[in-house]
A and B are shown apart, each in its own frame.
Chain A
Amino acid sequence: MIHTTPRGRRSVTRRGFIKGSAAAIGLTATSGAWAQSGDKVVSLLSWPGHGAQDVIGDFEKATGIKVQAKEYTGGEEMMALLQSSPPGTYDVVLSDAEYVIQLQQAGLITELDAGAYPLDDYWPEFQQFPAQYVDGKLFAIVVDYGFLGLVYNSSVLSREEVDSYAILSSEKVKGKVGMYDWYLPNMMCLSLANGNRPPHDIDGAKFEAVKQSLFALAPEMSGIGVWSSVFSQLTNKESLVMPGVGAWAALLLEQGGVPIKAVVPKEGGLQWTEMLAISATSQKQDLAVQLVQYLTSPEGQVKEATKSAYWASIPNKAGWKLLNEQNPKAAESLEHRLDKRNVMDEFKEGKIFIRDVPKQQSIEVWNEAWTEFKNM
Chain B
Amino acid sequence: MVGTIPTTSATGGRRSRGPRGFALAFALPMPVWQTLFFVAALLFLIVMTFWSVRNFRVEPDFTMANWVKMLSAGYFQDTYFRTVWYAALAALVASLIAFPCAYGMAFKLSPSFQRIVASSLILPYFTSYLVRAYSWKILLTENGVINGVLGYVNLGPFAMTSNLFAVLVGYMTLILPIVILLQYFSLAHVDRRLIEAAHNLRCGALRTVIQVVIPSARTGLILAATFAFILSFGDFVSPSFLGNNKPPTLSILMVDAVKSGSQWPRAAVVAITMVATLLLVAFLAMAFAYGRKAESR
Contacts and interface: CB of A to CB of B under 8 A. Distances in A.
A and B touch in the complex (CB under 8 A): yes
Given A183-B259, A364-B260, A102 B56 contact: yes
Contacts of A371: 75, 248, 253, 256
A74 B259 contact: yes
A18 B137 CA distance: 37
Interface stretch (B89-97, B113-121, B140-148): B140-148
A370 B256 CA distance: 9
Interface stretch (A7-15, A218-226, A309-317, A323-331): A218-226
B260 A222 contact: no
Contact of A181 (B142, B245, B264): B245
Given A225-B241, A370-B256, A79 B141 contact: no
Interface string B181-216: 000000000000000000000000000000000000
Which of B79, B253, B261, B264 has the most chain A CB atoms inside 10 A of its CB? B261
Nearest to B131: A228
Interface in A75-115: 76-77, 79-80, 83, 102, 105-106
- Interface size on A, as a range, is 35 or more
Given A236-B142, A236-B143, A375-B75, A223 B253 contact: no
A229 interface: yes
A106 B141 CA distance: 43
Contacts, number: 106
A182 B137 contact: no
B137 A236 contact: yes
Interface string A39-83: 000000000000000000000000000000000001011011001
Contacts of B161: 223, 238
A259 B144 CA distance: 17
Contact of A229 (B240, B252, B253, B259): B240
Interface string B125-137: 0000010001001
Interface residues of chain A: helix, strand, loop or mixed (majority): helix
A258 to B, nearest CB: 12
B75 A224 contact: no
Given A238-B142, A370-B256, A375 B78 contact: yes
A184 to B, nearest CB: 9
Nearest to A237: B143
Contacts of A134: none
B173 interface: no
B56 A105 contact: yes
A367 interface: yes
B19 interface: no
B134 A363 contact: no
Contact of B261 (A80, A182, A363, A372): A363
A345 B245 CA distance: 37
A76 B259 contact: yes
Interface string B50-64: 000001111000000
B245 A225 contact: yes
Interface string A354-376: 00010000111001101110111
A333 B91 CA distance: 50
B246 interface: yes
A225 B130 CA distance: 13
Interface of A: 74, 76-77, 79-80, 83, 102, 105-106, 181-183, 221-226, 228-229, 232-233, 236-238, 357, 362-364, 367-368, 370-372, 374-376
In the A-B complex, the 5 residue pairs with the closest CB atoms: A223-B244, A363-B261, A236-B141, A364-B260, A367-B260
11 contacts: A76-B261, A79-B56, A80-B258, A224-B245, A233-B141, A238-B143, A238-B161, A238-B162, A364-B263, A371-B256, A374-B247
Interface of B: 55-58, 73, 75, 78-79, 130, 134, 137-138, 141-144, 161-162, 240-241, 244-248, 252-253, 256, 258-264
